[in-house]
Structure 1
Amino acid sequence: MKIGSKLKQARLKSELTQEKVSNILNVSRSTISSWEVGRSYPDLESLVLLSDLYNISLDSLLREDSDMIKKLSLDSRIINKINKFIYYLPIISFIVLLSSIFYINIGNSTYNKLCEQMYEEMKVLSLKYDMTKVSNYKNELENILNKNEFKSIKAIEIYVADMKTGNKNLETDKNKFKLLYETVDPKSKEGIALLKNSLGILSTDTLDKDGNIVHYQPYSKNYNIYRVEGLALISGTLGFISLLISIIIKFKNSKK
């Protein structure tokens, strides 16, 4: 006899209606009906509750119903896999988090070194020229950008605020800055607009030989740092949530 028929017989013997059983198990009446006619099977937890409610052993309910046994076996395997995944997820997330932090530290070190090197080069260049006259230093600037240590720079912009001779102050109205030079690495697949939105390294303003304020903005391929920072945040959050879930599951299992 199939389990659906056994459940129906047990319910009638216990003088319970489908409505009453559905309220006790906190499921819909149609669910109880589906179990009894064999359209669907109860899960293991519901099966245990029905066994207690009807005062009939699980062995009696499951005997002769191979389909139900297969379903419970499959459910059990799936649950075990999910539990294993939840158990290992915090460990995996922790490894990803540590790897991300390590990568970020290395990236930031490279990034800071690039900023310092670029500042020194631009400072020396600015002290030699009136930076409002691009033609005077264009070739030298491009030679700087072709150095191996600056290969990661994919574009650069130079803004200059034309000041009075002898200016020693780096503060001025931002509106006074004019974009005088702009170049993009021809090998770069990204256009300048995309580079300006996605990349970039910090720059420090400096003065040229005539007291004009020079603001240079290099755009570097080291933008992967920002993506890894996002990955670190996601993995850390995911690891914490999965750890919390695994603790809750273990707590519930210990209560049973």
Structure 2
Amino acid sequence: MNNDMYENLGKKMKELRIKNGLTQEQVADALNVTPGYISNVENNRSAMTLRMLIYYANLTHVSLDHLIGSIDSSYQATSLDNELLQLLETLSDTDKEKLIKTIKLWLLK
């Protein structure tokens, strides 16, 4: 991962933590690390392992694709597709039909 991507990852992780109403202490407890470690990751002084990134993504209710895709523009399109597919899997058939109708109406604008 190049330095720009690494710097953006720490920033993105902090944004996700705040968006989910979590403190560094809460994240640290959930991941069984110290709050200082979370601060170091958010400020790009430390990097998380893949396993920790997966736990972090789950904790902040995003897919790992979303977390990584949001910092790598060449991967972002695939990440968005994957996130949409994940969301679609949670819908009932009735809700999927409603969504299709809504999308069709939206595209006609």
What TM-score, normalized to structure 1?
A: 0.25
Residue 24 (structure 2) pairs with residue 15 (structure 1): no
Q: Higher strand fraction: Structure 1 or Structure 2?
A: 1
List runs of 5+ in structure 1 lacking aligned partners. Answer: 67-256
Tell me the secondary structure at the aligned position of residue 41 of structure 1.
coil
Go from structure 1 to structure 2 and tell me whether the alpha carbon gap of 1:39 and 1:65 turns closer, same or farther (over 3 Å shift).
farther
CA distance in 1, matches of 2:54, 2:18: 18
CA distance in 2, matches of 1:36, 1:58: 16
Q: CA deviation at 1:65?
A: 4.9
Residue 9 (structure 2) pairs with residue 3 (structure 1): yes
Question: Counterpart amino acid of 1:14?
Answer: N
Per-residue CA deviations over 1:127-176 (Å, capped at 9, x if unaligned) read xxxxxxxxxxxxxxxxxxxxxxxxxxxxxxxxxxxxxxxxxxxxxxxxxx
Q: CA deviation at 1:44?
A: 0.8
Q: CA deviation at 1:37?
A: 0.9
Question: Counterpart amino acid of 2:29?
Answer: N
1:1-256 correspondence runs (5 A): 2-63=8-69, 64-65=71-72
Q: Higher helix fraction: Structure 1 or Structure 2?
A: 2
- Identity of counterpart residues, as a percentage? 42
Tell me the secondary structure at the aligned position of residue 27 of structure 1.
coil
CA distance in 1, matches of 2:40, 2:52: 13
CA distance in 1, matches of 2:53, 2:21: 18
CA distance in 1, matches of 2:61, 2:45: 23
Q: CA deviation at 1:6?
A: 0.7
Go from structure 1 to structure 2 and tell me whether the alpha carbon gap of 1:31 and 1:65 turns closer, same or farther (over 3 Å shift).
farther
Could you list the runs of 4 or more consecutive aligned residues of structure 1 that deviate by over 4 angstroms after TM superposition?
A: none
Equivalent pairs counted in the alignment come to 66
Q: CA RMSD in A?
A: 1.8
Per-residue CA deviations over 1:24-44 (Å, capped at 9, x if unaligned) read 111011100011111111101
List runs of 5+ in structure 2 lacking aligned partners. Answer: 74-109
Per-residue CA deviations over 1:17-71 (Å, capped at 9, x if unaligned) read 00111011110111000111111111011111101000111112112359xxxxx
What TM-score, normalized to structure 2?
A: 0.56
CA distance in 1, matches of 2:21, 2:58: 15
CA distance in 1, matches of 2:49, 2:72: 14
